[in-house]
Every structure is written in structure tokens, then in C-alpha cells.
Amino acid sequence: MDWNLNTCARRGHETYAPDEPGLRDRLCVQTPAGEAWRCLRCATYVVGAPKGSGKADDAPEVPRGRLLRDRRLMRLLAAERVIRGLGLAGLAVLVFVFRKSRGNLQDSFNRDLPLLRPLADQIGWNIDDSKIVRGINDVFSLSERTLTWIAVGLIAYAVLQFVEGTGLWLMKRWGEYFAVVATSIFLPLEVYELTERVTWLRIVLFLVNVAAVVWLIWSKRLFGFRGGGRAFHAEHHAESLMTVERAAAAETAVPAV
């Protein structure tokens, strides 16, 4: 997939007219239909007036190539975090509702449970020794204070996911650090949960979190890895089309010896 063309098809081209004559000539050509300016993202010449103009130093650094692909991955990771946060917030609401209506729910459960015994006996299900029934009774036995703390914990975790998702969606450097730290903190807990009981959902979530941490540290050069933030910004700047064309214009301006 050509990430540059795909993005330009959805969001339009990014053209810019620099004031510097040598650089301006490299980004503009004359066609029978008029001036055509080179897109800073996909490098295609687009007929019409440029979107912006000014000094080359003021030109927008349009992500392209691998950097553009990384942005897509960041947005996917951010969306996953927001969806997870919504799920946690929904669970917190359910806990609050359960706490308020626990008495009525418990009465209904105790009243209707005997009605299931004939059916359970026919299929060979021992209700009295059922893990499901014991689990429901354990939930009913939780105090209001415990339920409140569970709901508060779920809300706090949901807020954590929303902050993480927001930082990643906005492509903020602090969001990348926040995502790595926040995700890494809960990895030992996820390992413990896997030792208690292995499920496909737990395995998938654990692998997603591990992959996210490794990918963010590697690709974003976090915590000084692979040169740190300075190397990351230098790489971002070096891959912009304006930087490439500026270097080419400087080379052609130097007379051959």
C-alpha cells in the first residue's frame, strides 16, 4: 500500500511555494493547464495554486512514508485504548447500578434459583456445586464499600486509558511515554492473571500490550533508545520532502570543480 497516495486521496494534497527561487523551481513546473506544484506528501505535481507559501523554514513538515504508516498505527492503538476505556467505564456504571439494586437482585435470584433445579437435574447439573452459582453468591456477599472501591478503580483505569488514547491520537511525545509507562505497569498483573487462568482474551490483550510497548520504544526512540528524541526529530525532519528538495537545490547551486 502506498501510504502517501492513500492519505492524499482522503485528505487532499499538501503543496507549498517557498520564497527561495532555487527551491521554488524544484517544486513547481509549468504545464498547459498552468502551474503545478509538487505535493509534499506523495510528490505528485498538482495543478493549481499552492495551499501555502513563505520561507522554506516555515513550510509544514508533512509526514510521509514510514512516518505516515507509524501515525496510522498510533491512531489504531489510540482507538483500542479508547474502546477499552469505554468498556471499563461501562463496567463501573454496572457496578454502581448493582450496588444500588443488590437487595432486589439477590431476592430475585434466591426466589428463582429453585425453579432451575428440575431442569438442572435433567441435564445432570449440580446447582449446589456450581461455580457460577457460587460466584454469584460471592458477588452478592460483597459490601457496599467494596463495590464502591471496585467501581472507583474501574473509573480510574478508564481515565488512564482515555488519557493514553488521547495522547497517542494527537501524536504527542508525552502520550507515547505515558502509554509505555502505563501499559508496562499492568503487565505483571496480566501475567499473574494468565497464571491463574488462561483465556484467549487475556492472551490477546497481553500480546497487544507487549507489542505496543516494544513498538513504541523502538520506533519512537523513547527513553534514549536509538538516539532518543533528538534522533527521532532529526529522522522526521530528514524524511520530509521539503528537506530533501532543499538539499538537492543546495547541491545544484554549488558549481562543479
- Report the alpha-carbon distance of residue 208 to residue 204 in Å, rounded: 6
Position 227 pLDDT exceeds 60:
yes
Q: Comparing 178 with 22, which gets the higher pLDDT?
A: 178
Q: Comparing 220 with 257, which gets the higher pLDDT?
A: 220
Residue 88 lies in a domain: no
Position 252 pLDDT exceeds 60:
no
**Per-residue pLDDT, 243:** 65
Residue 96: CB atoms within 10 Å = 17
State how many domains the chain has.
1
- Report the alpha-carbon distance of residue 240 to residue 65 in Å, rounded: 9
Residue 94 lies in a domain: no
Taking residues 241-257, what's their average pLDDT?
Answer: 56
Residue 56 lies in a domain: yes
- The pTM for the full model equals 0.74
254 pLDDT band, cuts 50/70/90, is: very low
248 pLDDT band, cuts 50/70/90, is: low
Percent of the chain past pLDDT 70, that is, above it, reads 91
**Per-residue pLDDT, 256:** 42
Residue 223 lies in a domain: no
Supply the range of the domain harboring residue 38: 3-64
Task: Choose the weakest-confidence range: 52-66, 109-123, 202-216.
Answer: 109-123
Residue 179 lies in a domain: no
Q: Which residues contact 120 (CB under 8 A, 6 or more apart)?
A: 126, 127
Best-predicted range by mean pLDDT among 73-77, 86-90, 238-242? 86-90
Asked if 240 and 217 touch (Cβ cutoff 8 Å), the reply is no
Cell (9 digits) for 250? 543546495
Asked if 166 and 78 touch (Cβ cutoff 8 Å), the reply is yes
Residue 181 lies in a domain: no
**Per-residue pLDDT, 178:** 93
Residue 12 lies in a domain: yes
Residue 41 lies in a domain: yes
Position 247 pLDDT exceeds 60:
no
- Report the alpha-carbon distance of residue 121 to residue 196 in Å, rounded: 31
Position 230 pLDDT exceeds 70:
yes
